[in-house]
Structure 1
Amino acid sequence: MARIAHVEILMVDLPPAVTRVDAIQSFVSQETPIVRITDAEGAVGTGYSYTIGTGGPAVISLLERTLAPRLIGREAEEIEGIWRDLLFATHATAVGAITSLALAAVDTALWDLRCRRAGLPLWRMAGGAKESVPLYTTEGGWLHLPAEALAEDAAEMKGRGFAGAKLKIGKPSIAEDRARLARVRDAVGEDFHLMVDANQAFDLAEALRRADMLAETGIHWFEEPMPADDVGAHAVLAARSRVPVAVGESLYSLSQFKDYLTQGAASVVQADVARIGGITPWLKAAHLAEGFSVPVCPHFLMELHVSLVCAVPNAPMLEYIPQLDAITSSRLDIREGRAHPPDAPGLGIEWDWNTIRARIVHGSHHCIGGGETHAAHGHGHRAEV
């Protein structure tokens, strides 16, 4: 073991390679905070999180002013203790997206450091349940695309061996959503999973109406039908819908997942490693879902989630949406529609540091270092680079 000696914080902005539109918004940006943690022996771990275009500077500020100084002098292997202490240090702003995203950047860096020091890939270090996982695609299912484009993309991905495709819904009328789904079903047949995602656009009455229509089309799950903070409405929908209800990308703590599971309000858990606060709580959410015989199919971040879904036994599919292509030299290992986790030690993400440093968002780059004495009080040397 070795104590943390230095923390580097920065952020890059990654515009999506394709236009992404759902029922409530259009994605024009992926702010990506990155944290590099160096221990006293010179080992380095890199972690990250993301926003979809707002809040990134607040995440950086929380990292720079509150979280990173508390890391200096801590034993890097004490990941659970560090996560708990940082959560307590931010208890006035938790539970919430900004705090969870900042915690995730730190926690994923610590897990990367741990795995690198041990010489093990993350998927083995965190459980090693399986060596590959089927993929489903979302990248060709955006709401602005015409039905023919949806059908062509889904058929292509089926031909590549993918297990399914997810389509955005939320057109003004049920009839329009029904027609789009029917066109895709005609193109791919019955032996291909189709999922839908409403991105919290409906109220309970409308979600119930759409669920009846979705059952007719053989939809595999109905994702984020309503605002995520309304557990009771999801419980009603889950009890009455013939289509499984999927939630999780907009939940920010283990306790929120507990509420959904104990009330029978979720049939699929979609914990997002960035939004729940890192690998440490993600694994807890996955194992909690396993106790309820509920699968975990995480949201986004496929480059990191591939290792986590292969670490646990109850993760049947991985979502395909590339995020990091512009700043990495590694790519998801896909063979016959299945994703294979990296075997390299750590997260297995090969960062392109020259590109990253050329794309740093102004004012987001900070280096923090100090000794044990300062760390106890949450202080340390801070300098913008």
Structure 2
Amino acid sequence: MNTLARIDAHVVNVSPKTNWVFIAVTDSEGAVGWGEASLIGWEPLLVAATAHLAPDWLGLSLDDAACKLLVSPQSPGGLVANTVTSAVLQAVASLLVQARQVAPAAVLGPTRRTQVALYANINRATGLRTPEGFVATALRAQAQGFSAFKAAPFDGLTPALCATPEGQTLILHGAACMLALREALGPNARLMVDCHWRFDEAHALQALQALAPARLHWFECPIAETHAHWAATRRLRAAANAQGVLLAAAETQVGLAAFQTLFDEGLYDVVMPDVKYCGGPWEMLRIAERAAAQGVQFSPHNPSGPVCSWHSLLVASVAPACDMLEIQFDESPLYDALQAGPRLPMEGGQLRVPVQAGSVLGVQPAVLAAHPYQAVPPGIETLLNR
């Protein structure tokens, strides 16, 4: 059986806001599998954590690695260590595809669908942060076949600011952006708003009411996902549902047990595990299976690079159900330029599931080398938890 022989982290700068982190795992036969470990602002620590953890994993067989590499919310290394582990597990899945010469999804289970619907996250492609700017990006996405769209227009808002005049201005501006999107995209488009945990309960309710004319499909991550906020989250879910809106969250949750707690507490209509953080493809599939059993929708979080898209697509193809898969629309031409091997086959707002035996998505080394790490602003998760 092939064993893990080398594990290397690579950082590529794709925009003034974004680096992507990829981890290459080489096996004893020289095959290479790729995983994605992007976590905005934490790139040096991800590289260091990869070097720190790799010696414990080298020499494991592919099957042993798939079973023995584990994530935990209680890990002393926190989300950084869990992200590295998740990325290595993605790479192991690709190595197993090559070793067994099977269809890319076959190492996860039988394929249930041949294509997966996408929604366009238009946030990072929108430089002009006005109603007109968001509309221009969304119309470009619509022209490329997308019929579902997500924006995050509440820039600068924090829970502490919500009640202030500045916060009220930011809330009204964000609502205006979403209402403009509804008017421009028409009545049949699916429209979602990502709040990035910027609200307290009272002002999340204010925003939800202001957004009623936008006829949202879902209201995402309005408040912090902590035990102290569970009662408020249930009240927000009830208020959203009364407007015909779903409540979505859980993009940085780690491991099935954490998601089971969310199911047990009745917090969300939609969970959004991210294959970069939740524990890799097999754990993500277990989360999807449990979500289906609990009557909760599964919609993978995927606002980053092509390697994450590849592995998310494969899980979505074998999951019992998958509402939609996120795609970061038009942030950088490097999304396409980085892809080596079979390209992600996007058509009309959908991704076709790859079926060629032994095929895996790789990363172009020359493109990696041409766009080295650059410091970028911290993500909102960091800003809210400093």
Q: Check conservation: 1:34, 1:47, Cα contact below 8 A.
A: yes
How far the C-alpha of 1:357 sits from its partner, in A, is 4.3
- Is it true that 1:123 corresponds to 2:105 in the alignment? yes
Amino acid at match of 1:315: C
Aligned to 1:148: 132
Aligned partner of 1:283 among 269, 282, 285: 285
How has the CA–CA distance of structure 1 residues 232 and 117 changed in structure 2, closer, same or farther, with 3 Å as cutoff? farther
Q: Check conservation: 1:228, 1:250, Cα contact below 8 A.
A: no
Residue deviations 1:137-184 (CA, integer Å, cap 9, x gap): 113574852212322332343343323111113264443333222222
2:268 alignment partner, SS class? coil
CA distance in 1, matches of 2:349, 2:31: 35
How has the CA–CA distance of structure 1 residues 116 and 49 changed in structure 2, closer, same or farther, with 3 Å as cutoff? same
How far the C-alpha of 1:208 sits from its partner, in A, is 1.5
How far the C-alpha of 1:102 sits from its partner, in A, is 1.0
Aligned partner of 2:190 among 190, 193, 205: 193
- Is it true that 1:61 corresponds to 2:44 in the alignment? no
CA distance in 1, matches of 2:367, 2:136: 34
Q: Check conservation: 2:66, 2:89, Cα contact below 8 A.
A: no
1:265 alignment partner, SS class? coil
Matches within 5 A, 1:6-25: 6-16=5-15
2:238 alignment partner, SS class? helix
Q: Check conservation: 1:198, 1:225, Cα contact below 8 A.
A: yes
Matches within 5 A, 1:200-219: 200-219=197-216
Matches within 5 A, 1:93-172: 93=76, 96-127=78-109, 128-139=111-122, 142=126, 144-170=128-154, 172=167
Amino acid at match of 2:313: V
How far the C-alpha of 1:358 sits from its partner, in A, is 5.0
Aligned partner of 1:176 among 145, 170, 173: 173
Q: Check conservation: 1:33, 1:60, Cα contact below 8 A.
A: no
How far the C-alpha of 1:92 sits from its partner, in A, is 4.8
How has the CA–CA distance of structure 1 residues 164 and 224 changed in structure 2, closer, same or farther, with 3 Å as cutoff? same
- Please identify, of 257-266 and 328-337, the stretch whose mean Cα deviation from structure 2 is larger: 328-337
How far the C-alpha of 1:360 sits from its partner, in A, is 5.6
Aligned to 1:379: none
Amino acid at match of 1:273: V
How has the CA–CA distance of structure 1 residues 235 and 337 changed in structure 2, closer, same or farther, with 3 Å as cutoff? same
CA distance in 1, matches of 2:121, 2:315: 19
Aligned to 2:17: 28
How far the C-alpha of 1:361 sits from its partner, in A, is 5.3
Amino acid at match of 2:42: G
Q: Check conservation: 1:10, 1:361, Cα contact below 8 A.
A: no
- Is it true that 1:325 corresponds to 2:336 in the alignment? yes
Aligned partner of 2:363 among 336, 341, 351: 351
CA distance in 1, matches of 2:371, 2:144: 34
How has the CA–CA distance of structure 1 residues 359 and 188 changed in structure 2, closer, same or farther, with 3 Å as cutoff? closer
CA distance in 2, matches of 1:178, 1:56: 33
How has the CA–CA distance of structure 1 residues 144 and 291 changed in structure 2, closer, same or farther, with 3 Å as cutoff? farther
Aligned to 1:375: none
Residue deviations 1:323-359 (CA, integer Å, cap 9, x gap): 7434224543122221113334467313212333455
Residue deviations 1:43-69 (CA, integer Å, cap 9, x gap): 3322231121x222222222212x211
CA distance in 2, matches of 1:119, 1:315: 26
Aligned partner of 1:308 among 288, 306, 315: 315
Percent identity, aligned pairs only, is: 24
Amino acid at match of 1:48: E
Q: Check conservation: 1:33, 1:56, Cα contact below 8 A.
A: no
Matches within 5 A, 1:230-309: 230-242=229-241, 243-300=245-302, 301-309=308-316
Across the aligned residues of Structure 1 and Structure 2, the Cα RMSD in angstroms comes to 2.6
CA distance in 2, matches of 1:260, 1:186: 34
How has the CA–CA distance of structure 1 residues 44 and 157 changed in structure 2, closer, same or farther, with 3 Å as cutoff? closer
Q: Check conservation: 1:251, 1:275, Cα contact below 8 A.
A: yes
Q: TM-score, structure 1 length as denominator? A: 0.81
Aligned residue pairs: how many? 344
Residue deviations 1:266-307 (CA, integer Å, cap 9, x gap): 111110111113112211111111111222111123233222
Aligned to 1:382: none
1:310 alignment partner, SS class? helix
Amino acid at match of 1:249: E
How has the CA–CA distance of structure 1 residues 297 and 143 changed in structure 2, closer, same or farther, with 3 Å as cutoff? farther
How far the C-alpha of 1:194 sits from its partner, in A, is 0.4
How far the C-alpha of 1:99 sits from its partner, in A, is 1.4
Amino acid at match of 1:100: N
How has the CA–CA distance of structure 1 residues 29 and 187 changed in structure 2, closer, same or farther, with 3 Å as cutoff? closer
How has the CA–CA distance of structure 1 residues 146 and 360 changed in structure 2, closer, same or farther, with 3 Å as cutoff? closer
1:228 alignment partner, SS class? coil
Q: TM-score, structure 2 length as denominator? A: 0.81
CA distance in 1, matches of 2:21, 2:116: 26
